[in-house]
Amino acid sequence: MKNCWFITGTDTNVGKTTYSILLLKLAKSHGYYTAGYKPVASGSRKDNNKNNDAYLLQCFSSVILTYNEVNPFFFPEPISPHVASKICSTPIRTDVLSLGLSNLKKKCNYILIEGAGGWFTPLSEDVTFADWVIKEKLSVILVVGIRLGCINHAILTQKAIIDSGLIFFGWVANYLYPKNKYDEEYIIILKKYLKSKFLGYIKYCYNLEKFYYPENTVMLPIHM
């Protein structure tokens, strides 16, 4: 499937869900049947027993999906998935992740797969999220949360993606704070060191459920 993207980040809480929502809305406006997929998630909403990121991806998918279709492995405690799976005695099986993705491909023609944490987040003592992405041969987009330390994290993540043999399609800059006078300096140097497409900027947003994409300047990634 051409338009199936894995969204990774320079760290946790850098805007993967924000960017995924933005693309889901943008792709829908271009006539795509869209789905957000959060295969593994830790941490639950206060109002229900669901992960907030996965819940939002479910809400913004244009195809009607059950929560389990969006998020097959959910752990209530906001900790690393491999630790959470041990506590819950629920091994994270990559064949289940692949089956979930395969089922979404039957319903949709534009899929955004959101990772957990950064590129090498462990799913078990022996398997990382990157291992599964490599197995599925997914194109990768990197969300760079613009803050102190992001340049190093972005360069290291780029190297890991390229070394894996996958397509590093592009990256997006997400403003994590309302205003930081050094943000533009960070982005200038990131444009120099990151060799894939720059897909745009995401303005600071404090309420994802009211997120509105025309306020931002990102392009819709498409495999022709």
Catalytic residues: 38
Is residue 43 part of an annotated ligand binding site? no
Is residue 114 part of an annotated ligand binding site? yes
Give the residue carrying structure tokens 């998935």. Answer: 81
Q: Phi then psi for 212, rounded to 5 degrees?
A: -130, 115
Q: How far is CA 125 from the centre of its chain?
A: 22
Is residue 35 part of an annotated ligand binding site? no
How many residues are recorded in the chain? 224
Two tokens at 66?
A: 């059950």
Is residue 42 part of an annotated ligand binding site? yes
- DSSP symbols for 129-154: HHHHHHHHT-EEEEEEEESTTHHHHH
C-alpha 68/C-alpha 151 separation (Å) is: 35
Two tokens at 122?
A: 């462990």
Is residue 36 part of an annotated ligand binding site? no
Amino acid at 177: Y
Is residue 13 part of an annotated ligand binding site? yes
Is residue 116 part of an annotated ligand binding site? yes
Is residue 173 part of an annotated ligand binding site? no
- Residue 120, CB-side half-sphere exposure with 13 Å CA sphere: 12
Is residue 17 part of an annotated ligand binding site? yes
Q: How many helices (H) and strands (E) does the chain have?
A: 8, 9
Is residue 118 part of an annotated ligand binding site? no
Binding residues for Mg(2+): 17, 53, 114
Binding residues for substrate: 42
Binding residues: 13-18, 42, 53, 114-117
Binding residues for ATP: 13-18, 53, 114-117
